[in-house]
C-alpha cells in the first residue's frame, strides 16, 4: 500500500494556475522532498496533502484511503513548519503534551485541576507526561521540560516542534522548510537528526525545501518542481547524474553545472568550440553540452580556456575560466595538485569526461547519446 498518493492534482487561485497536473507517490517509510525555486508551488502542494487547501482537480490518498474531501485533523498527518508554531505561554512539557491532551481527554477532562479529583484523568495525565518526557529524551531536550519556548535556542525549539509531531505517531510527516530559521551549522546538524528520526519512527515524510543540497542529502527520492509542475521525480543519484531537463541539471549541484553551446556535425559528433567532445548525438545542429565542475580535468586535448580566478577550498581548487572560442563561463573543480597549472590570466586546457557529460536539445530535454560512442570516445 502506498503511503501518500497525489493523483492529477491541479490548483488555481482565481485565474492563476499555480499547480498544473501533479502526480506523486510516497511509499511507506519513504523520505521524499519537494524542491524548487521560490513560487514553484511546493507549499501549495504540501498544504493540499495536509488538507489545509482544497485542490481544484485530482485526488489525495493516504495509506490507501481517499482523503481529498477530509479535513486536516482527520488525515493522520503531522506538520512541522519553519516558524515552529509553539505555544509561547506553555512550557516545553506542556507544548509536547498538547496533541495527546486534545486526542485523549474530553473537553470536561481538560478543565484545570480535574486531575486532582478524578483518578481516571490523573492516570491519563501521568501517561501523557511520561510519553512527553520519553519523546523529549529521544530528541535530546529532556532536560528542558520546564522552560518556555523563548528560553530555548532555535535548534532546541525546532526539536520541540518535531517532538510535537512525532508524539502523535502519524502516518505521514509533512515538513515545510523546518530548518530555514536556523544558522548554517545547526541546519546541517538537524538534517542528520531529522533523517535519523524519520528512520526510527518509520512513517513517511514529505519535506519541502528550496535548498537543493538539503533535498539531495536527506531524501530517498526528490521531486524537482518548477512553474507548478514536477519536472523530475527520482533518487538523488538519478537527479544528479541523469537529469531529464536542463532546468533540473542547473538546479542541483553546487557550483552549478557548466552549460556550453555545441553542435552536432554531419557525422553525428558533438563539437564544443569546434573540438570533438567524444560524444555522438542523434540530433543534428545546435545542442547544449553540460558538464559538472568535478567532471572537468586538465588535459592537453581539452578545450582552451583562460583562467580568471582560482579558489583554494582545502580539498580542491575551484577554477573560474572562460572558453577561448565562445567566451562562455566554465567552472572546474580540480585537485589541489593542479595548483601550478592554473594561473589567473593564463590559458589552460580542460577536458570534459565523456562518460559524465550530458547533452540537451533546444527544448531543454536531455538527449541520450549512444553508449557505445561514449565508450569509444573514452578509450
Ligand atoms: P516559497 O519557496 O517561496 O514558499 P513555493 O514553491 O512554496 O514558494 P507556493 O507558496 O506554493 O510556492 O506558491 C505558488 C504560487 O502560488 C506563488 O506564485 C504564490 O504567489 C501563489 N499563491 C500561493 N498561495 C496563494 C493564495 N492563497 N492566493 C493566491 N495566490 C497564491
What pLDDT is attached to residue 336? 96
Buried b (16+ CB within 10 A) or exposed e, 340-379: eebeeeeebbbbbbbeebbbbbeeeebbebeeebbeebee
Residue 119 in this model has a pLDDT that exceeds 80: no
Four-residue CA torsion sign, 81, 87, 90, 94: negative
Please tell me if the CB atom of residue 13 comes closer than 6 angstroms to any atom of ligand 1.
yes
209 in contact with ligand 1, CB cutoff 6 A: no
Task: Provide the pLDDT for residue 377.
Answer: 47
For atom 30 of ligand 1, which residue has the closest CA? Answer: 13
From the CA of 13, give the closest atom in ligand 1. 29
Highest mean predicted confidence (pLDDT) among 16-20, 71-75, 124-128: 16-20
* Contact present, 31 and 207 (Cβ < 8 Å): yes
CA of residue 185 to ligand 1 center, whole Å = 28
In this prediction, residue 346 carries a pLDDT of 96
The pLDDT assigned to 301 comes to 85
**C-alpha 31 to ligand 1 mean position (Å):** 23
pLDDT at position 376: 47
The more confidently predicted of residues 326 and 322 is: 322
For residue 298, give the nearest of 375, 220, 352 by alpha carbon. 352
43 Cα–ligand 1 center, Å: 7
What's the CA-to-centroid distance between 362 and ligand 1, angstroms? 29
Residue 219, ligand 1, Cβ within 6 A: no
**pLDDT by residue (tens digit) across 248-295?**
999 999 999 999 999 998 888 899 987 888 888 888 889 999 999 999
Q: How far is the CA of 126 from the centre of ligand 1 (A)?
A: 43
pLDDT tens string 205-260: 999 999 999 999 999 999 999 999 999 999 999 999 999 999 999 999 999 999 99
361 has pLDDT over 60: yes
Average pLDDT over residues 341-358: 94
Sign, CA dihedral 9-238-252-79, equals positive
Q: What is the pLDDT of residues 88-107, one digit of tens each?
A: 899 999 899 888 888 877 77
Q: Three-state SS for 28?
A: coil
- Looking at residue 115, its pLDDT comes to 64
36 CA closest ligand 1 atom index: 6
Nearest residue CA, atom 5 of ligand 1? 39
Atom 28 of ligand 1: nearest residue by CA position: 13
User: Atom 31, ligand 1: which residue's CA is nearest?
Assistant: 13
Among the ranges given (87-91, 127-131, 301-305), the one the predictor scored with the smallest mean pLDDT: 127-131
Cα 247 to averaged position of ligand 1 atoms, centre (Å): 20
Ligand 1 pocket residue status of 39, Cβ below 6 Å:
yes
Identify the pLDDT of residue 116: 67
What digits encode the pLDDT tens for the residues 129-187? 888 888 888 888 889 899 998 888 888 888 898 888 888 888 999 999 888 877 888 88
Ligand 1 contacts CB of residue 41 (under 6 A): yes
Which among 68, 19, 33, 6 has a CA at the least distance from the CA of 235? 33
Radius of gyration of the chain (CA): 26
Ligand 1 site, residue 358, Cβ cutoff 6 A? no
Predicted pLDDT at 51: 93
Q: What is the mean pLDDT of the chain?
A: 89
| Ligand 1 centroid to residue 158 C-alpha, Å | 24
pLDDT at 363: 93
Question: What is the model's pLDDT at position 84?
Answer: 66
Residue located nearest, by CA, to atom 10 of ligand 1:
43
Q: What percentage of the chain has pLDDT greater than the value 90?
A: 57
CA of 47 to the centre of ligand 1 (A): 11
3-state secondary structure of 318: strand
Cβ atoms within 10 Å, residue 312: 10
Burial of residue 258 (number of CB atoms within 10 Å: 0-12, 13-18, 19+): buried
Region 366-378: what's the mean pLDDT?
61
Query: Which residue did the predictor score with more confidence, 312 or 375?
Result: 312
Ligand 1 centre distance from Cα of residue 162 (Å): 24
Amino acid at each position: 500500500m502506498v503511503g501518500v498518493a497525489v493523483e492529477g492534482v491541479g490548483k488555481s487561485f482565481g485565474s492563476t494556475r499555480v499547480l498544473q497536473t501533479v502526480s506523486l507517490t510516497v511509499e511507506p517509510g519513504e523520505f521524499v522532498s519537494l524542491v524548487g525555486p521560490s513560487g514553484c508551488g511546493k507549499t501549495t502542494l504540501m498544504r493540499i496533502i495536509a488538507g489545509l487547501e482544497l485542490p481544484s482537480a485530482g485526488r489525495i490518498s493516504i495509506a490507501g484511503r481517499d482523503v481529498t474531501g477530509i479535513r486536516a485533523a482527520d488525515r493522520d498527518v503531522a506538520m512541522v513548519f519553519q516558524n515552529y508554531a509553539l505555544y509561547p505561554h506553555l512550557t516545553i512539557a506542556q507544548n509536547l503534551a498538547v496533541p495527546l491532551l486534545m486526542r485523549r481527554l474530553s473537553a470536561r477532562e481538560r478543565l484545570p485541576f480535574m486531575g486532582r479529583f478524578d483518578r481516571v484523568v490523573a492516570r491519563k495525565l501521568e501517561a501523557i507526561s511520561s510519553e512527553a518526557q520519553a519523546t523529549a529524551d529521544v530528541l535530546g531536550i529532556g532536560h528542558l521540560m520546564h522552560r518556555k519556548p523563548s528560553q530555548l535556542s532555535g535548534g532546541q525549539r525546532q526539536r520541540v516542534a518535531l517532538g510535537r509531531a512525532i508524539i502523535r505517531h502519524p502516518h505521514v510527516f509533512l515538513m515545510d522548510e523546518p530548518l530555514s530559521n536556523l544558522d548554517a551549522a545547526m541546519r546541517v546538524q538537524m538534517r542528520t537528526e531529522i533523517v535519523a528520526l524519520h528512520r526510527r519512527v518509520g512513517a513517511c515524510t514529505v519535506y519541502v525545501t528550496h535548498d537543493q543540497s538539503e533535498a539531495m542529502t536527506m531524501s530517498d527520492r526528490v521531486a524537482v518542481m518548477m512553474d507548478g509542475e514536477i519536472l523530475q521525480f527520482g533518487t538523488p543519484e538519478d537527479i544528479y547524474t541523469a537529469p531529464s531537463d536542463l532546468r533540473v541539471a542547473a538546479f542541483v549541484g553546487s557550483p552549478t553545472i557548466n552549460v556550453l553551446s555545441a553542435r552536432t556535425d554531419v557525422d553525428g559528433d558533438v563539437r564544443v568550440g569546434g573540438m570533438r567532445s567524444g560524444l555522438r548525438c542523434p540530433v543534428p545542429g545546435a545542442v547544449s553540452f553540460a558538464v559538472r565542475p568535478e567532471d572537468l580535468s586538465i588535459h592537453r586535448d581539452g578545450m582552451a580556456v583562460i583562467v580568471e580566478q582560482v579558489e583554494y577550498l582545502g580539498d580542491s581548487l575551484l577554477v573560474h575560466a572562460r572558453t577561448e572560442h565562445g567566451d562562455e563561463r566554465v567552472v572546474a573543480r580540480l585537485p589541489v595538485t593542479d595548483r601550478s597549472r592554473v594561473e589567473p590570466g593564463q590559458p589552460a586546457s580542460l577536458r570534459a569526461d565523456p562518460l559524465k557529460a550530458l547533452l540537451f536539445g533546444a527544448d531543454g530535454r536531455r538527449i541520450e547519446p549512444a553508449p557505445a560512442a561514449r565508450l569509444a570516445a573514452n578509450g
